[in-house]
Amino acid sequence: MKPLRKAVLPVAGLGTRVLPATKSIPKEMLPVVDRPAVQYVVDEAFEAGIEHIIFVTGRAKSAIEDYFDRAFELETILQGKGKDDALKTLAAILPEPGTMSFVRQQAPLGLGHAIWCARDIIGDEPFAVLLPDVLIQGQPGCLAQMTRIYEQHGGNIIAVDEVPKAEVDKYGVIDPGAKTGRLSEMRGMVEKPAIDAAPSNLKITGRYILQPEIIDLLENQETGAGGEVQLTDAMVRLMQEQPFHAYEYDGTDFDCGNRLGYLRAIAHYAINHKDLGAKARTVLENALSH
């Protein structure tokens, strides 16, 4: 079994559900408390042992690439002013050189197409996919939980969790088979089903461990829901050929791609913040009582 070393973060989306905030900055750079949303997802990947992150970007997303690079001018000014704490903050988020790649998706043709755009950098290895719209609080993080399962079972694993029935049409939804603990066999899955046709209320949460054979399937995948090339449709085909499990992770997810999900994320990450937590709680309570 090849080790899991690479993760793909598709960040080409336009962020239309959070306009106008995303008119001139990528949605992944919107701050959640004191750092951009994408930082949490990168931290989750590195915590899980990922060694190389592949961003699938698009036009107007260069702020993400700049964020993960040195900022010489800023650092020089901070050094001159003796701002050591600020310099430490910057040093802590700087990835090791050569551990991030950036490839562009030239047109918004869907999540499946975005992953396919990363094929040359993925190569012939298993890889993780983390959708940066989705922040997940978990101890350890969701991908670290999944890598433990992967080490035991191999194959393909997707994170799932329950969603109210009325919301199943916004997600990929699985048809679970036999269940052992948090792990289910897979009978099927469907992208954005009609509410009455959904096979369960277990949604695909946005964390995947996939074998490289998915790339060949994506290559000739027909368009599906929303007229886009869907990763879910290619996974349905992969499921016929390889072991595939759904894992009900331990944690809470926040969909930062919509305004209320983003607000929930800010509130939760604020009250759990190691320095600001207690004060943030008071701020939120005061806001409610005035």
Residues that bind ligand G1P (CB under 6 A): 111, 131, 133-134, 171-172, 191, 203-206, 230-232, 255
**Cα distance between residue 288 and residue 251, in whole Å:** 26
Q: Residue 54 or residue 231: which is nearer to ligand G1P going by CB?
A: 231
Between 54 and 161, CB nearer to ligand G1P: 161
Dihedral of the alpha carbons of 202, 205, 207, 211, in degrees to the nearest 10: 40
- What is the closest distance, in whole angstroms, from the C-beta atom of residue 13 to ligand G1P in the complex? 7
CB closer to ligand G1P, 204 vs 270: 204
Q: To the nearest whole angstrom, how small is the minimum distance from the Cβ of residue 233 to ligand G1P? A: 10
| Closer residue to ligand G1P (CB): 126 or 172 | 172
Nearest distance from C-beta of residue 204 to ligand G1P, angstroms: 4
CB burial readout 187-197, b (16+ within 10 A) else e: eebbbbbeeee
CA distances from 214 to 66, 144, 208, 232, 236 (A): 30, 22, 12, 10, 10
Whole-angstrom distance, CA of residue 21 vs CA of residue 142: 28
Minimum Å gap between C-beta 205 and ligand G1P is 6
Least distance from C-beta 11 to ligand G1P, angstroms? 12
Give the nearest distance from C-beta 171 to ligand G1P in angstroms: 3
Nearer to ligand G1P, 78 or 133 (CB): 133
Q: Tell me the C-alpha distance between 239 and 185, whole Å.
A: 10
Handedness of CA 12, 16, 22, 24 (dihedral sign): positive
Q: Which of 211, 11, 29, 6 is nearest to 100 (CA)?
A: 6
78 vs 244 by CB, closer to ligand G1P:
244
β-bridge mates for residue 207, sequence order = 130
Residue with the closest Cβ to ligand G1P? 172
Which region holds residue 8: left if phi is over 0, alpha if psi is between -120 and 50, else beta?
Answer: beta
Contact 270, 135 (CB under 8 A): no
Instruction: Supply the minimum distance, in Å, between the C-beta of residue 211 and ligand G1P.
Output: 18
Nearer to ligand G1P, 186 or 280 (CB): 186
- Give the three-class secondary structure for 47: helix
In the beta sheet, which residues pair with residue 179? 184
